[in-house]
C-alpha cells in the first residue's frame, strides 16, 4: 500500500521525503488510550512537530510535552491551550519559563536545585515534578546519564520546591527511548512508590506519576505490544501506589506515536566498488534525516521492486562531502541495486525530519502526507473535468 503512495508522491515531489500516514497516528493514540486507561497522554512534540500531527492529536484530546519556547509558540498558533502542555525539559531558558507561565503552562520538570529556583522565580506557584534516573537497560537509546537524579535527591528537591512556594506534584522517569522490556517500567514504578511513601511521611502529598516515553516502534527486533506494556504499568501502579489518593498518571509517547506512520523515501545517487568494497550512496544521510543511525539505530530497509532479490554486503552512505555521513557500515542490499532505485526506511516517522540540517547546501527531506496526495488527486480530478 505504501508503495502505491510513494509512486503517487513522486508525481509531485522529489526524493528525499518522509511519506506520512496520519491515520496511523490516530490508531496509535487510540491503542495507547485503551492500554493505559488511567493515564493522560502528553505527546512529546520533539519526535515530530509537524502542524498536521499536532492538530490531529489536539483534536483527539491529547496533551503535549514541550521542550522549548519554539515548540510552545507552534502549539499556541495551532490553538492548543497552555493548560494542555507540560514543560518537560529539565534545562530551560529562564525567558522560556516566563513565556510558558504567561501562556498558562503550570507543569514543569526539574532535576536540580537551580532549575527549581528558575521555575520558582519565573513561574511562581506552579506544579513541578522531579525526574528520577533509571539505568536505561533494555533501551536502544538510554537517556539516563544526562537527566534525572537519585531517589534521595529527588525527595530533597521536592521539599525544596515546597519551600520555594511551588507545588511538589510528583515524579517522572524515562526508561530510555525504544525500550523493549515492560519490566523496565515496573522497576521504575517500584522506585517511585518508595519515594511517594517517604514523601508522605515527611508531609508531602505527591499525586503525579509521569511514566515518560520509551514505548517502542517496530524495527528489526521483536517488540512487546502496547497492551503488554500498559498491563505492566497498571499492575505496578496498583501494587506500588495504591495508597495515593487521586493519582494522576501521565505518559509522554513520542517515537511510539509517529514512528510507524512514516517511511523515509530516498534515491540511489551512486553505486561504486573501490578497493574491493561496495558502496551505495543515497540522497539522504545522517545530516538529512538519518541522524539516529550514527548511534547504530537499525531501520528496516526496503529497495522498491527488489524485495525478493539476492542480497550482498554494502556500505551505505549519504550525499555530503563528510566522512561522518555514513549510514551503515555493513548492510545487506539487493545485488542489482543501482542508480535511481528507491531505498525506503520503514517506520521512520520519529526523530528524522526534526534532525534536518541543510549541510552542504542539500535540501533535507520534506514531509508528504498521504492525505495531501488525496487532496491533490481531487483537485486534479476537478481540473480534468473542467478541461474535458
**Residue 244 to residues 2, 171, 190, 235, Cα–Cα distance (Å):** 46, 13, 14, 15
Q: Is 344 a catalytic residue?
A: no
The total of other beta-carbon atoms located within 10 Å of residue 340's CB is 8
- DSSP letters along 119-134, please? HHHHSTT-EEEEEEP-
Cα(303)–Cα(24) distance, rounded to whole angstroms?
Answer: 22
279 phi/psi in degrees, rounded to 5: -125, 140
Shortest Å distance, C-beta 269 to a copy of itself:
5
Shortest Å distance, C-beta 252 to a copy of itself:
10
One of 114, 321, 378, 387 is an active-site residue; which one? 321
Q: Which of residues 4-63 bind a copy of itself (CB under 8 A)?
A: 44-46, 49
Please give the radius of gyration of the chain, using alpha carbons only, rounded to the nearest integer: 23
* Given 1, 201, 245, 295, the residue binding a copy of itself (CB under 8 A): 295
- Residue 111 touches a copy of itself, criterion: CB under 8 A: yes
Annotate 38-57 with three-state secondary structure.
CEEEEEEHHHCCCHHHHHHH
For residue 285, what is its C-alpha cell?
544521510
Cα(72)–Cα(100) distance, rounded to whole angstroms?
Answer: 7
For residue 68, what is its C-alpha cell?
522549548
Q: Which of residues 166-205 bind a copy of itself (CB under 8 A)?
A: none
- Measured from the CB atom, the residue of 23 and 272 that comes closer to a copy of itself is 272
Binding mask 115-154 for a copy of itself (x = CB under 8 A): x--x--------------x-------xxxxxxxxxx--x-
Segment interacting with a copy of itself (CB under 8 A) among 91-99, 228-236, 365-373, 376-384:
91-99
| Interface size with a copy of itself, residues (CB under 8 A) | 71
- Measured from the CB atom, the residue of 219 and 315 that comes closer to a copy of itself is 315
**C-beta of residue 184 within 8 angstroms of C-beta of residue 138:** yes
Q: Which of residues 255-294 bind a copy of itself (CB under 8 A)?
A: 269-275, 279, 281, 283, 287, 294
- What is the C-alpha end-to-end distance of the chain, expressed in Å? 30
- Measured from the CB atom, the residue of 81 and 363 that comes closer to a copy of itself is 363
Q: Which of residues 56-75 bind a copy of itself (CB under 8 A)?
A: 66-74
Shortest Å distance, C-beta 34 to a copy of itself:
27
Shortest Å distance, C-beta 243 to a copy of itself:
28
For residue 230, what is its C-alpha cell?
500498559
Q: Which of residues 343-362 bind a copy of itself (CB under 8 A)?
A: 354-362
Identify how many contiguous H helices and E strands the chain contains and give both numbers. Answer: 11, 18
Looking at the annotation, which residues are catalytic?
A: 321
Amino acid at each position: 500500500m505504501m508503495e502505491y503512495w510513494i509512486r503517487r508522491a513522486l508525481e509531485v515531489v522529489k526524493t528525499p521525503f518522509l511519506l506520512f500516514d496520519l491515520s496511523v497516528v490516530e490508531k496509535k493514540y487510540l491503542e495507547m488510550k485503551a492500554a493505559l486507561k488511567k493515564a493522560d497522554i502528553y505527546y512529546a512534540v520533539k519526535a515530530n512537530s509537524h502542524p498536521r500531527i499536532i492538530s490531529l492529536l489536539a483534536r483527539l484530546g491529547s496533551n503535549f510535552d514541550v521542550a522549548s519556547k519554539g515548540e510552545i509558540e507552534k502549539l499556541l498558533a495551532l490553538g492548543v491551550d497552555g493548560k494542555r502542555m507540560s514543560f518537560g525539559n529539565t534545562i530551560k531558558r529562564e525567558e522560556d519559563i516566563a513565556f510558558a507561565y504567561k501562556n498558562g503552562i503550570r507543569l514543569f520538570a526539574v532535576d536540580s536545585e537551580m532549575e527549581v529556583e528558575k521555575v520558582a522565580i519565573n513561574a511562581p506557584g506552579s506544579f513541578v515534578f522531579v525526574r528520577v534516573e533509571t539505568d536505561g537497560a533494555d533501551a536502544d537509546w538510554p537517556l539516563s546519564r544526562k537527566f534525572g537524579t537519585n531517589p534521595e535527591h529527588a525527595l530533597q528537591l521536592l521539599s525544596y520546591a515546597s519551600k520555594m512556594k511551588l507545588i511538589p506534584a510528583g515524579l517522572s522517569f524515562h526508561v530510555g527511548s525504544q525500550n523493549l522490556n515492560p519490566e523496565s517500567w515496573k522497576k521504575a514504578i517500584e522506585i517511585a512508590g518508595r519515594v511517594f511513601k517517604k514523601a508522605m511521611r515527611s508531609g508531602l502529598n505527591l499525586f503525579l506519576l509521569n511514566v515518560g516515553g520509551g514505548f517502542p516502534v517496530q524495527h528489526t527486533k521483536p517488540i512487546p505490544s502496547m497492551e503488554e506494556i500498559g498491563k505492566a504499568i497498571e499492575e505496578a501502579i496498583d501494587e506500588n501506589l495504591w495508597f495515593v489518593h487521586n493519582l494522576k498518571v501521565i505518559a509522554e509517547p513520542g517515537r511510539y506515536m509517529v514512528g510507524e506512520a512514516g517511511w523515509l523515501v530516498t534515491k540511489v545517487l551512486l553505486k561504486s566498488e573501490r578497493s574491493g568494497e561496495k558502496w551505495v550512496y543515497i540522497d539522504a544521510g545522517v545530516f538529512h534525516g538519518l541522524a539516529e543511525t550514527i548511534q547504530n539505530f537499525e531501520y528496516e530497509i526496503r529497495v522498491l521492486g527488489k524485495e525478493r532479490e539476492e542480497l550482498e554486503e554494502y556500505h551505505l552512505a549519504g550525499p555530503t562531502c563528510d566522512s561522518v555521513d555514513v549510514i551503515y557500515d555493513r548492510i545487506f542490499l539487493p545485488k542489482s541495486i543501482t542508480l535511481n532505485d528507491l531505498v525506503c526506511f520503514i517506520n521512520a516517522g520519529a526523530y528524522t525530519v526534526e534532525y534536518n540540517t541543510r549541510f552542504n547546501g542539500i535540501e533535507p527531506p520534506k514531509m508528504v502526507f498521504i492525505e495531501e496526495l488525496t487532496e491533490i488527486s481531487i483537485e486534479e480530478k476537478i481540473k480534468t473535468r473542467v478541461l474535458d
